[in-house]
Amino acid sequence: MMGRRYFRSCAESSERITENDAIGGSKTLSCYVGIIVGPKLSMPRIAYAILSAFFLSAPLFASADVVRDIVFPVKDNFTYRDDFLEPRGGGTRKHQGNDIIAPKMTPLLAAVDGVVSFVAIPEAPWGYEIELQDDQGWRYDYLHVNNDNPGTDDGLGGPEHAYMPGVVRGARVSRGEPIGWVGDSGNAEETVSHLHFEIHDPNNQVVDPFPSLVAASGGKGVSANAPRTNVVEPTFEERKAQLRYIFSKELNMGNESSEVRQLQLILKSLGYFTYPSATAYFGPITRDALVNYQKKKRIPETGAVDLLTRRALNTDLGTWDPNDYIPFYNDAEKKALLIAQLRQQIAVLQERLKALQGY
């Protein structure tokens, strides 16, 4: 129980433009240590923790063909082929989805009834991304969503030309509902516009989407001559680690940093920050947007990124700060444990002295 609690908590008037130091990496090892050194430790629990860490960090593939009842995720004028597990990156990686080729700005459709579990804001190295989750826990990932202004290839379209209005984390969508547009964002800029589409089962195994896509399209668009993109996408775990931002600092009026910019981008994606661009300066507009967010979350309306606000933001982003946790033991419990350990060490030492010297 204690281990589980630890792991869960460890999930403007003249805006100025600047970039300060970026946030560094986090001490994720402390979470694994926290689980392993928890009370009532047993060898099966150690084995389970180690195996869980291994399997959750490696891409998993479902072995059998699965057909999910989905709506085809691209509206029309598409072509695709079976390129699941196709070698990429000179044979160093395997393609974990299917690339659906379609003209830029072709509408993307929700494959299922479900919840928007993630949207990439700002644009990630692999481009804009939408992740849906259905009521059974299956995930459907859309990568390389459009990043251009209509009729251009400028890469400056922003989230408003990637996602349909209202497509934010936590929003419910209906199957067949437009959620975004086909594009070539991220590392797909040098290839044909397309949707990289993935399916993951509730156990986080990557499932071949091709049978489900063929069933959804009735075979329409399938062609062995569909263009090859040869784009190397990171795994889901890599995408999560790289993009899902962790708020770990207190932010207040007058602060100016890259973390303030991230705050503005997140608040903008959620509909609270109305300034045209993220400036990285914490001014009155940012404060008012944050107060409205706090009001919606029913937490104290401080107008600052305090502990409760950081927790709410990280929850919305699907992340957590490993330094923000409830310890296993309070100070009195720690002292009692230390005394017990010392007594045990003294007893062992006394037994050894007795055996050696007849003490």
Beta strands in 71-208 (DSSP E): 79-80, 87-88, 93-94, 98-101, 107-109, 114-119, 128-133, 139-145, 172-173, 178-181, 194-200, 205-207
User: How is residue 25 written in tokens?
Assistant: 């990496």
> What is the Cα–Cα distance from 87 to 80, expressed in whole angstroms?
17
Specify the pLDDT at position 90: 79
Specify the pLDDT at position 236: 61
Topology agreement, domain 2-58+244-317 and domain 60-234: no
pLDDT tens per residue across span 229-283: 888 776 666 665 555 567 888 999 999 988 898 888 888 877 788 888 788 899 9
Specify the pLDDT at position 189: 87
Specify the pLDDT at position 56: 40
Positions of the chain with pLDDT under 50:
1-60, 63, 325-328
All structural domains of the chain with their residue ranges? 2-58+244-317, 60-234, 329-359
Specify the pLDDT at position 354: 82
Other C-beta atoms closer than 10 Å to the C-beta of 226 total 20
> What is the Cα–Cα distance from 350 to 107, expressed in whole angstroms?
76
Alpha helices (H) in 37-117, listed in sequence order? 43-57
pLDDT tens per residue across span 41-71: 344 444 434 434 433 444 445 545 789 999 9
80 phi/psi in degrees, rounded to 5: -160, 165
Q: Report which of 268, 247, 258 is spatially closest to residue 311, judged by C-alpha positions.
A: 247
Q: Is 133 exposed, middle or buried (0-12, 13-18, 19+ CB in 10 A)?
A: middle
The CATH number given to 60-234 is: 2.70.70.10
Specify the pLDDT at position 250: 92
Question: What does pTM read for this prediction?
Answer: 0.54
Instruction: Give the CATH fold of the 2-58+244-317 domain.
Output: Muramoyl-pentapeptide Carboxypeptidase; domain 1 (1.10.101)
Specify the pLDDT at position 94: 86
